[in-house]
Amino acid sequence: MRARVLVRPKQGILDPQGVAVERALPALGFKGVSEVRIGRLVELEIDNPAELDAISSQLLANPLIEDFEIELLEDAPAT
């Protein structure tokens, strides 16, 4: 089934990319944007969605500084 893993910098961890975006926006004429956080989006096709948690913490995210969230994109039953 199709799944998505959202990887975000943990709360309290500095996010330099987000800071850079937030600072660049006013110069482009966009006001009123705040709390920009930039993470990774991983989309994949997986036979056994039960493995996603282990895959995410071992390979996709760095649990010291990142949180991850798993979204299953099809309603096929998880095994």
Residues that bind its own copies (CB under 8 A): 6-8, 18, 21-22, 24-25, 28, 30-48, 51, 54-55, 58-60
Residue whose CB is less far from its own copies, 10 or 40: 40
Phi, psi of 62 (to 5 degrees): -100, 105
29 vs 75, beta carbon nearer its own copies: 29
CB of 75 to its own copies, least distance (A): 19
Compute the C-alpha angle 25/39/16, nearest 5°.
55
CA atoms of 56 and 75, how far apart (whole Å): 20
